[in-house]
Structure 1
């Protein structure tokens, strides 16, 4: 037998040499070994037994071969196993070494010769191991901790996900961990650690995490995943942690990232020379030391792995105008551990626990960026994040054909933001050029006083049952997600003051008109909410993997979802059930030897409603906005430091509390009774081929289409009562029929169910045609308007070429050609920075999206990704990564529209008679989505060099990595507001808002025993 072939082929699978299309033919955090005994002349091997053994843990599992020679061993932890074959109780014959990877089925077909009189089996060379996983109909990338150690990949889950094709980083203002998979928004993904869902459920951006050294292997699913997974219309990050073995091992790893090794950011100025973004003084030092140990408490039965990581993170930055300096530190350590109890070879228990709790303390100082002089301290801001996580998992191989897995877990993600000046100081922010220079605005830089405790209680059961040519997989899972939330603005009255430029006669968002002589206005906003809110998500799934022929596999699956979002009193607020998600796939082993396959799948995926909707729509939200003419600036003093606050002049227009008046109200009138869920349909067709034992290539075509949106809409009229049938803000499906509790007989009182077809009506259109004798505006009703249905589709072609690591070198290259079009990005909006999931401005009124179809924010026409490593000698290793992508589209958003008197963002700008008091006299022009071109290409090149040295059983590794080697600082986003108010150009239009991070370097020194 040729063991070299076994090892290389199995390693190919482990490194996703099969171009990332790996099967969901094993439960989420496990792998499987499957295959067929191939005999000469149709010889039967009744009673043959296949056994896999893990020499590190003493674990062994056997299964009896079926009459047709096929076998399957599921629920195997990722690792390296020895395979044996015996017939009729004869002596076992070694087959070879097999590598089992996360979530995959490793196929091992064994050529069998004669059986001697003692029952020994002749296993003939060469051993055939599938180079392309012909049992797969999904798309995923597998990569191990060892693989990542050879390349310059930063130590976080986002950096791992970014290696996969079709994955781009989201806008930083929507969340630093945001990732876009296949054109989706950053709020549509799911992250699992050892089977525990650790995704942020409050806003669905972000997730709990752990140090790299805590993980063993990662899997990034980009499409076509099985019915075992749900609650995502983006992608899935699946990670498994390390475990102990019979041998004691320990180690330490030091990571140093000094500020002095990094490049400075660039500064940007306004046309008049005033500072716009000062980033040359930003930086930070990040150091951490983790120590770990693993071994057996009871040999062959009870194992442990434990880690503690001490951290010293220092980050400093200036405000955009360079007037304040934040000096932050975060030094809370990480702890994590795992106990594995191998009760028998067929039954095991695993207990996982880790904590990513962290507090960042930032001292705020006055600052002169020109001289780099730090003044007096004005504030200290505290930010608490993270929490404790636990999961208990049972793994049972009940019979040769029936296996199960059960998991219960708890995931917590707490958040708090508060400062020393919260009681005394309001936040003040102003557009450039309005406030006198030299004196800071306000006496706090803290934007909110906020605390939140999120707790997920999760449980799931998963089963596998082999019946002849059918592998049945079925199960259920349930999550109870609870948010305890409180928020307000700092300072007296809880007001946040924003100062904007304007022009006399301009119409503000609340409908008020700017008086003569006023060139700036103040928005005073109160934003308060508190309560405890719960969401229950549950699902059942059934899947049949049917081997129709030895070369053709059909994957037939069905997932049944249910979501129940509750208000602060525990009543169902948004409840959707009986959501059926069918998923079908096929894989054809073209040559029958596992080296070439044609595969495809179609499926439906549902997206739950984030907890932020419960809180802000069903929790007594007060969102009060009052507008004033700016009457000047007042200088005050606190703790020996001067600051400015705006002087409020005459109020402009009414107080606007339409987004929330502080009461819960009758929820029947605030949510559609028959709401449809948000879901995405996906179709994938792909081809893969193994060129030889190291090289493989593939191509994949992808089509995704998002259906529906759940967002807040202001319904200002009904068909029965016209403009007098005002309902208010409703959570519903834009462009569909909406049924709410309302006024059925037009007497002004809600008395029954009212249905409004929002594709045709629901918005009362008014035009201002003049003023009456008292000078009040004359508003003429000119009809109704409906909403455009949300649209989003993604089409892509992916090409990949892969060379598996063979001890000398490895390489992966991918190119993605993608088109992402629509009129709505998803539950969040990158264009205008709406980060509350499901509460964007896109559907506030029908005009926000009118004529707004085009290329979406996450559309990147071209993406090129390269990664690889090369061993120069046994001691020296170099690695590199490249991520290059074309820029996203730029839109010039206007304010208002040519059809009524509203003033939301729109795809129209006023070009004539803009200062008219009468909206009917203004003339508008259409600004198409993406009409101002695209952002520039951006790329990040990483390079690393590693020195390896062994001292008996001790291994030393020193790795130096540089990220963004060429120090690219291209614009990643720009200001897309063409107008600040109707007819008032925004001076900051097309000014950059975010950039690539400057070059930085990292030294990692690890010592393992």
Structure 2
């Protein structure tokens, strides 16, 4: 009997299955159970053969006494499964396999029949608690994705959103994820972002894990993005492709005007394009395959700079409207009153456009990939892969002279060798991998000559004067000039500015990072009261980084007109260091009075010169290792219990130039190890029950602990001897320590403060070299609880309901108890009582008075750690998902998520002040700044609706038409009121409780994909397509200005302390804090731009493309 289609009756029965993790990160598995159809008794000895284009040769297994089988190490793709019994044969097609996933294929066979059927299995993985999704190459081609790289596609996952740096998952920040490509960890070493962009055209599948994953996975408290690239096969396959997005197909971006500046900047796409080719096939048929691809990517962005001036010619009428413009004074019959006009509807100053000019940035990169797959024997496989991406870009200065822009170039290179083997009748599996991630970046001025010129930011002046520096048009010079015969508004400053940049680019980069990684795992299957799958593994990393510590011209200058702040990198001499280069004196306030003087003085060297000069290069290193053991036990065919534990250690070393020296700020001798985080046991527990017993449902629960892998930014700064030295000079009056006013600026040129003729008013060392690590410090971790139900509603439709709870259990951050002179890397809010007693005993044994005093001082600081609030971040979410796999032309993936993310600590990104310094941010530096931080966090976006889908119309045997869509709706972000701090600068003080001022509006958008495909010949097809993004051009608010009180205003400093538990009305009574930290009687100055939109989502745009496949 020979039959096709799914009309043939068959029964899906539960398998004596093993764990869902019986495969590697880049391959999947098929498992199931074979029974006799009439009696439903298990059939032992049935030969199961799996074949597909991704396999070099078919893989097989023999069913055991329970009828069970499992075939592993299957690359992602489509397969056919053949079942051979004594007198029966059944061929089943349409079996899809994904990476890190077990596809259940349960089969009932009628003796004596020969059957061929297309019967895709259920979409539910009934042996795993993994929470996430998988995106195949069809999804990447047919859904209109704004990003052309794989990491950008990860935002389709429920509970994910773009936080401005990357994709953040389930209440975490985007710097708490882990990214892998073909088993290579490509996570950036410095901050934890995406280290290597991978073009979608080279991707076979993307797996996104956001919870519930087992002990094999670690070093992430956000999500895991596991990318598998394409591989070769026994058939030559390839494509030529390209996309082009011209600026003419983009709507004009809505401006986000700044309400206290005379320059608005709007970015519009000039063009974006990529094109390339890929090819895979056999080098030796059935033995050695290759895959290779190459694609350049080019882009250009146009920045329209609009100069404008304020007006003084209107009055507010009784109707609430503004009058017409009459620049005469009231005495002359006009409306000029010496104050800039304000629109009562928007609160913005009324302005007149003066002129426009366009500055452009450009970038180019080249993505290349190569892969070899070798079948050593039928049971042993090897793979060698490599990805290289060189890039370069040029960006102009925008709020200042165009020469203040920056050039950047760099290269990422990733390579890995992988080997796997099946032993003992496939009951044992081994896998080994070695990998190398390498990245470089070099950055400096557009004109290399300016690398030796300090960056200088002019604050609080006006464009009328500074436009004469040569960065503005003649029309802007004329219209912004104050007091001349042609000035229509002589009672006001026509073109006020908040900041204007001149000089060099600022920080210079000559950085390099390397990760050497290795991994070994062994898996064993056994039977005892059911089936067991035991897996153990170990992995290790050696991470190294070289970074440059250098400002262009040796300093960074902020010029406030009457005062100038000069910041330098400096290196302090140790007590016994007689190097003649330490010929400067750096002073800083003695906040604890240990010296008996008002200040402390250190011999120091101002770090300057070129890269390679003393103190300009920092070499850091971090070592990781982890081991895990887990067991997946099935006591019944429809019940799986997973239990495992992962152990991790992370050791951060001091920079090579510090080891063996004495810290001049703390008096401690640097050893080799700066911080060793050990004892990190991460248990993982899970249970999965299939009530239907045929693989169509699962009820599951999991609990796990996940430890953070601290990025190497902490090595550069806290463990790299970083000390910044800030001097403030009063420059408005004689004796002019920085020189007489510069005629071109109208104020003293801050460059003169580098070699001053007089002393500074204040001096301050911000000494991350003065770093202590709290004894007994423990690693940061996150706990997660996951509860869920999934049900196969129809053959191709799956419904899921999941509750996820995540909370930070402990945080690693730096704190200071002495006014930022000394930092302690600690667990804020807690310090070990046993470590306290140990230090007390050490003090009691210490006879040297100086050493005893130092230890007693440290003991007091460690005790102060407990006074800090414990960091909290809680995420609770309910997700409802509906998925229809591609069938009969239609694919749908939809989700609705209701979630809340609340606490007092956002995580590795300080969204409120824009700081990106994981584990050493300013969030916990000073205890007086902790007030009002509890509430809805920046990641809190309660409602999120996502819908992705496509439908392909068959226009005949050779033609097709595909429509794809991407719909999004998400809640806005909480709005805060922030102020400056006298030591730490802008946006460090929460004036009111977090989130009290509401949130921005709901954001929504729709994207559309249209593609026409045609088969040209056997094995040759072409497709042309167009993607339209933000179809109805809704340019919603991405961010608002939350600075209520700027650190500096027209009337001087405007720092302010938090108003604990205050309301908006209380802001009227807030008083400014002076530079010494004392409260004044002067009210703080309100930022006129407060609450206004400063960032919008991208406007409507379109791209066109083609794909020729063969």
TM-score by length of 2: 0.76
Q: What is the rounded CA distance, in whole Å, between the counterparts of 2:296 and 2:557 in structure 1?
A: 38
What is the DSSP-based 3-state SS (H/G/I as helix, E as strand, rest coil) of the residue aligned with 2:928?
coil
* Residue in 2 that maps onto 1:778: none
Please give the residue correspondences for 1:337-736 in structure 2 after superposition, counting only pairs within 5 Å.
337-362=370-395, 378=403, 381-398=406-423, 399-419=425-445, 420-431=448-459, 433=461, 436-438=465-467, 439=469, 441-444=500-503, 446-468=505-527, 469-491=531-553, 493-497=554-558, 499=560, 530-569=617-656, 571-629=672-730, 631=732, 635=742, 654-660=762-768, 664=769, 670-716=772-818, 728-736=822-830
Q: How many residues were matched structurally?
A: 900
Q: What is the rounded CA distance, in whole Å, between the counterparts of 2:851 and 2:7 in structure 1?
A: 76
Structure 1 residues 366 and 150: CA distance shift in structure 2, 3 A = closer
Q: What is the rounded CA distance, in whole Å, between the counterparts of 2:984 and 2:142 in structure 1?
A: 57
Q: What is the rounded CA distance, in whole Å, between the counterparts of 2:185 and 2:710 in structure 1?
A: 16
Structure 1 unmatched ranges of 5 or more? 10-21, 368-375, 504-509, 513-524, 718-725, 764-784, 910-926
Q: What is the rounded CA distance, in whole Å, between the counterparts of 2:1035 and 2:109 in structure 1?
A: 60
Deviation at residue 380 of structure 1 after TM alignment = 6.4
Give the counterpart of 1:802 among 864, 883, 886: 883
Q: What is the rounded CA distance, in whole Å, between the counterparts of 1:125 and 1:423 in structure 2?
A: 69
* Residue in 1 that maps onto 2:868: 787
Deviation at residue 939 of structure 1 after TM alignment = 2.0
Q: Do the aligned residues in 2 keep the contact of 1:458 with 1:480 (CA within 8 Å)?
A: yes
Deviation at residue 872 of structure 1 after TM alignment = 3.4
Q: What is the rounded CA distance, in whole Å, between the counterparts of 2:256 and 2:365 in structure 1?
A: 35
Matched, 1:936 2:1001: yes
- Any idea what the Cα deviations from partners look like across 1:499-531, whole Å, max 9, x if unmatched? 49999xxxxxx999xxxxxxxxxxxx9898531
What is the DSSP-based 3-state SS (H/G/I as helix, E as strand, rest coil) of the residue aligned with 1:613?
helix
What is the DSSP-based 3-state SS (H/G/I as helix, E as strand, rest coil) of the residue aligned with 1:183?
coil
Q: Do the aligned residues in 2 keep the contact of 1:189 with 1:204 (CA within 8 Å)?
A: yes
Q: What is the rounded CA distance, in whole Å, between the counterparts of 1:437 and 1:6 in structure 2?
A: 80
Structure 2 unmatched ranges of 5 or more? 11-18, 308-354, 472-499, 565-587, 591-605, 609-614, 660-671, 734-739, 1048-1054, 1057-1071, 1073-1083
Structure 1 residues 933 and 266: CA distance shift in structure 2, 3 A = same
* Residue in 2 that maps onto 1:303: 289
Matched, 1:162 2:155: yes
Q: Do the aligned residues in 2 keep the contact of 1:269 with 1:275 (CA within 8 Å)?
A: no
Q: Do the aligned residues in 1 keep the contact of 2:452 with 2:504 (CA within 8 Å)?
A: no
- Any idea what the Cα deviations from partners look like across 1:196-221, whole Å, max 9, x if unmatched? 11001211123212211111111111
Q: By percentage of residues, which structure has more helix?
A: 2
Q: Do the aligned residues in 2 keep the contact of 1:303 with 1:339 (CA within 8 Å)?
A: yes
Deviation at residue 323 of structure 1 after TM alignment = 9.1
Larger CA deviation: 569-578 vs 608-617: 569-578
* Residue in 2 that maps onto 1:18: none
Deviation at residue 696 of structure 1 after TM alignment = 1.8
Deviation at residue 340 of structure 1 after TM alignment = 0.7
What is the DSSP-based 3-state SS (H/G/I as helix, E as strand, rest coil) of the residue aligned with 1:257?
strand
Please give the residue correspondences for 1:749-768 in structure 2 after superposition, counting only pairs within 5 Å.
749=851, 761-762=863-864
* Residue in 2 that maps onto 1:825: 906
Q: Do the aligned residues in 1 keep the contact of 2:40 with 2:108 (CA within 8 Å)?
A: no
Q: Do the aligned residues in 1 keep the contact of 2:34 with 2:109 (CA within 8 Å)?
A: yes
Structure 1 residues 500 and 840: CA distance shift in structure 2, 3 A = farther
Larger CA deviation: 673-682 vs 203-212: 203-212
What is the DSSP-based 3-state SS (H/G/I as helix, E as strand, rest coil) of the residue aligned with 2:698?
strand
* Residue in 2 that maps onto 1:94: 91
Q: Do the aligned residues in 2 keep the contact of 1:429 with 1:498 (CA within 8 Å)?
A: yes
* Residue in 2 that maps onto 1:278: 265
* Residue in 1 that maps onto 2:1044: 978
What is the DSSP-based 3-state SS (H/G/I as helix, E as strand, rest coil) of the residue aligned with 1:160?
helix
- Any idea what the Cα deviations from partners look like across 1:799-854, whole Å, max 9, x if unmatched? 11222211411212211111001111112210111111112111111122234211
Please give the residue correspondences for 1:180-329 in structure 2 after superposition, counting only pairs within 5 Å.
180-271=168-259, 274-275=261-262, 277-279=264-266, 282-317=268-303, 326-329=359-362
Deviation at residue 751 of structure 1 after TM alignment = 6.4
Q: What is the rounded CA distance, in whole Å, between the counterparts of 2:945 and 2:286 in structure 1?
A: 46
Q: What is the rounded CA distance, in whole Å, between the counterparts of 1:850 and 1:744 in structure 2?
A: 34
What is the DSSP-based 3-state SS (H/G/I as helix, E as strand, rest coil) of the residue aligned with 1:146?
helix
Q: What is the rounded CA distance, in whole Å, between the counterparts of 1:481 and 1:654 in structure 2?
A: 40
Structure 1 residues 950 and 905: CA distance shift in structure 2, 3 A = closer
Q: Do the aligned residues in 2 keep the contact of 1:111 with 1:124 (CA within 8 Å)?
A: no
Q: Do the aligned residues in 2 keep the contact of 1:268 with 1:276 (CA within 8 Å)?
A: no
Q: What is the rounded CA distance, in whole Å, between the counterparts of 1:710 and 1:87 in structure 2?
A: 60
Matched, 1:855 2:936: yes
- Any idea what the Cα deviations from partners look like across 1:460-493, whole Å, max 9, x if unmatched? 11232211211122211111111011122212x3
Structure 1 residues 908 and 706: CA distance shift in structure 2, 3 A = closer
RMSD: 3.5
Q: Do the aligned residues in 1 keep the contact of 2:255 with 2:266 (CA within 8 Å)?
A: yes
What is the DSSP-based 3-state SS (H/G/I as helix, E as strand, rest coil) of the residue aligned with 2:774?
coil
Q: What is the rounded CA distance, in whole Å, between the counterparts of 2:4 and 2:679 in structure 1?
A: 51
Q: What is the rounded CA distance, in whole Å, between the counterparts of 2:561 and 2:27 in structure 1?
A: 56
What is the DSSP-based 3-state SS (H/G/I as helix, E as strand, rest coil) of the residue aligned with 1:614?
helix
Please give the residue correspondences for 1:130-145 in structure 2 after superposition, counting only pairs within 5 Å.
130-145=122-137
* Residue in 1 that maps onto 2:1023: 957
Structure 1 residues 27 and 7: CA distance shift in structure 2, 3 A = farther
Q: By percentage of residues, which structure has more strand?
A: 1
Q: What is the rounded CA distance, in whole Å, between the counterparts of 2:815 and 2:43 in structure 1?
A: 67
Structure 1 residues 444 and 309: CA distance shift in structure 2, 3 A = farther
TM-score by length of 1: 0.83
* Residue in 2 that maps onto 1:104: 101
Q: What is the rounded CA distance, in whole Å, between the counterparts of 2:99 and 2:561 in structure 1?
A: 53
* Residue in 2 that maps onto 1:61: 59
Structure 1 residues 277 and 653: CA distance shift in structure 2, 3 A = same
What is the DSSP-based 3-state SS (H/G/I as helix, E as strand, rest coil) of the residue aligned with 1:378?
helix
Deviation at residue 795 of structure 1 after TM alignment = 0.4
Deviation at residue 111 of structure 1 after TM alignment = 0.1
Structure 1 residues 708 and 753: CA distance shift in structure 2, 3 A = farther
- Any idea what the Cα deviations from partners look like across 1:757-814, whole Å, max 9, x if unmatched? 9999528xxxxxxxxxxxxxxxxxxxxx811111111001101122221141121221
Deviation at residue 394 of structure 1 after TM alignment = 0.7
Give the counterpart of 1:51 among 49, 52, 77: 49
